[in-house]
Amino acid sequence: MALIKHHLKYIAVLVFCFISLNVSAQKDSYIQSLNHQNHWVDSVFKKLSRKKKIAQLFFVRAHTDRGQAYEDSVAKVIKDEQLGGVVFFQGGPVRHAQLINNYQKLVKVPLLITMDGEWGLGMRIDSTISYPFQMTLGAIQDNSLIYKMGEQVGYDFKRLGMQMNLGPDMDVNNNPNNPVINYRSFGDNKYNVAAKGIAYFKGMQDAGILTTAKHFPGHGDTNVDSHLDLPLLPFTRQRLDSLEEYPFQQAINADISGVMIAHMNIPALDTTKNLPSTLSRPIVTGELKDSLRFKGLVVSDAMEMKAVIKYFPDGEADLRAFLAGNDIIELSENSERAIKKIRKAIRKHKITKEEFNAKVKKVLAAKYWAGLNQYHETDINHLAEDLHRPAATNLIQQLSDAAVTLVKGSAAGLQMIPLHRTALVSVGAEGTVFQAELAKWYTYNRWFNIGKTSTAAELNDILTSLKDYDQVYVSINDTRARPASKLDYSADIKQFISSLAAHNNTVITLFANAYTIADLPGIEKCSALLVCYQMTDALQRSAVKVITQQLKPTGRLPVTINKDFTTGMRGGL
C-alpha cells in the first residue's frame, strides 16, 4: 500500500506539472496581456491610496538564514508599508515556503515573490537543485534542452510559492576578467547569448513564471563589480547598439516580461558624471522604453549596491530610479524614506499622472498574470521530494552530456587502452567522481591526488612516479562555489600541470571555468583536452562517458580564451 501511495504521489506531481505548463503555454504572454483591459487590476488600483500605489513598486530583501529577529523586522516593513514584493535570498526551501506563506498574510494585495535563479533555486537556496551555469549551457548545441530547463525552473519557482525569476543573464561576456558576470553569461557570441537566453526564458514563461533579462544595456565588458563601485562603460553608441544591446533587443522581440537595468556609468548614452544607468532617464526611458520599445516591467538592480548609493545617498537614488522609468525598485536601503520622497515628487508634478499610474498597473498586471488574483498558499507537504523529482535530475545529466567540449585531440584517441597501467590524477580535489567512474574501465589503475598546498618536492616525486604509467588521465578541479577566470593554485601546481601535459598519452579534463586555460601555459601540449566548465558530479560522469566512447562530445566553446582556443571551437571527432 505504501508503495502504491508513493507512486500515486509522483503521478500527481507529474500531472500537476504537465497541466500547469500546458495551460500557461496556451495563454497570452505577460506582454500580450497588457493590451487588454483588466478588471481585477482596475479594481485593485482604485482601492489603493497614492502611498500604497507607490509601495507596490518596492520589493524588500528576505532571508531565512538570519534568524527570527531578522524575519520579524522584514515582516514589520511589509505590513506597515504594504509593499509590492519580496526578493528572497539565502535559506532553506521549507523555511522559505513557510515564510512566503506568512508574509502573504500581512498584505491586502498579494506580494510578487521573486529571486535570482539564474541556475535555478540552488543559486540562493540550500538543499535544492542547481542546473548548470549559463557559461556551461553556452556550449550546448541543442537549445531545446535549455527550454526544458526553463520549464523545470519555472515549476520549482511555482512549487515554492514564487512568481518571478530575476534571470536569465543576457550579458555578452567579452571580458575574461569580468569579476561579476563571467560564468553567469552564455558566452561572448551575441547570437548564442540571445538564442539561449530566449530559449531559457520562454521555458520559464510557458511554465507561468515572469522573467527578467539582465543587466541592460550589457554588463559583460566591465572590470569593476557594481556591488562595490560604479563601473564605466566607455564604448560608442554604435558599439552598444550592435553588441551589448543585441540580446536584449531580441529578448524584447520575443516578449520577455521584464528587463533589469545595470548600475553602470555610460557616457555615450548619458553624459551626467557618476550617474548609474539605473538612474538615467535617457537610458531607462529613452533607450529601453522608447528606442527598443520595451513595454514590460523595468526592474532596477539592487538599490543597496555601492555603485548607486556611493554618489546618490539618503534615498536620492530611489527617487531618481523612479523618475528615470523603473517600474520595480528592488532592495531600497529604506523604502519608507523613498516612498515619502516619491510622494513629494508626484505632488510637485515631476512625473505625469499617466506615467505613474502605468507603472503601478504594470506591477498589478504582473500579479494577475502570475495568478495572484487567486492566491493560494504553498503546500509544504512533500516539498523536498517535489523539488528533487527525477525529471529534474535527469535533465541535469542531459544538459551536462551536451555541454562537454573536446577542444584538442580526437574522441577516438581519448579512450587509450583498458589493460595498460593507468594513472588517475586529480588536481585540487581528492577522491572525485571522475576518478571513481574511470577506475571502473581501467583494470590497472592508481589514483594520485594533488592538493592546493602540495609542495614542489611532493609534485616532483609524483611526476617521477607517473613516468611508470602508460596513460595518464588528469582532472583539474575548481571546488569554489563560483568558478573564477583564474584558478587558486600555486605557481608550483601550475608548472606541474604544464610538465604533465608534455608527457605522451596525457588526457586532461577541466572541471573549471574555461578561461582558466589561459592561466595554465603549456596545457595545450597534452594529447587531448576536454572542457567541462564547472565541477559537478553530473559533468564528471559526462566526461567519463566521452572518454569511454559512450557519448559523442558535441559541445562548442562559448568564449574565446586565446588564439589557440576560440569561440565555437571543438576538436576532432
What are the domain boundaries of the chain? Answer: 2-394, 404-547
CA distances from 283 to 201, 242, 257, 268 (A): 23, 16, 18, 10
Give pLDDT, residue 22: 46
C-alpha cell at 61: 530583501
At how many degrees (to 10) do helices 456-466 and 491-501 cross? Answer: 10
Q: Quick check: helix, strand or coil at residue 137?
A: helix
Give pLDDT, residue 518: 96
Rounded Cα distance, 280 and 487, in Å: 37
Rounded Cα distance, 495 and 511, in Å: 18
Give pLDDT, residue 336: 96
Of 31, 42, 99, 24, give the one whose Cα is nearest residue 65: 99
Q: What residues contact residue 294 under an 8 Å CB cut-off, 6+ apart?
A: 252, 259, 288
Q: Quick check: helix, strand or coil at residue 472?
A: strand
CA distances from 42 to 39, 78, 108, 316 (A): 5, 23, 15, 30
Q: What residues contact residue 497 under an 8 Å CB cut-off, 6+ apart?
A: 427, 474, 476, 489, 508, 520, 522, 523
Rounded Cα distance, 52 and 82, in Å: 7
The secondary structure element, H or E, covering residue 78 is helix 68-81
Q: Do the beta carbons of residue 378 and residue 502 sit within 8 Å? A: no
What dihedral angle (degrees, nearest 10) is formed by the CA atoms of 555, 560, 565, 571? Answer: 20
Q: What is the number of residues in the chain?
A: 573
Q: Quick check: helix, strand or coil at residue 509?
A: strand
The DSSP 8-state label assigned to residue 173 in this structure reads -
Q: What residues contact residue 506 under an 8 Å CB cut-off, 6+ apart?
A: 471, 472, 474, 500, 526, 527
CA distances from 183 to 177, 192, 203, 508 (A): 11, 14, 21, 21
Q: What is the sign of the dihedral through the CA atoms of 521, 524, 529 and 530?
A: positive
**Residue 273 CB neighbours (<10 A):** 8
Give pLDDT, residue 504: 78
CA angle 439, 400, 136 (to 5 degrees): 120
Q: Which CATH class is domain 2-394?
A: alpha beta
Rounded Cα distance, 269 and 281, in Å: 10
At how many degrees (to 10) do helices 68-81 and 93-104 cross? Answer: 30
Question: Which residue type occupies 231?
Answer: P
Residues lower than pLDDT 70 in the chain: 1-26, 572-573
Q: What residues contact residue 564 under an 8 Å CB cut-off, 6+ apart?
A: 524
Model confidence pLDDT, tens digit, residues 210-226: 999 999 999 999 888 88
Give pLDDT, residue 15: 44
CATH 3.40.50.1700 fits 404-547, yes or no: yes
Of 123, 149, 80, give the one whose Cα is nearest residue 339: 80
Rounded Cα distance, 107 and 194, in Å: 38
Model confidence pLDDT, tens digit, residues 75-88: 999 999 999 999 99
Q: What residues contact residue 17 under an 8 Å CB cut-off, 6+ apart?
A: 155, 391
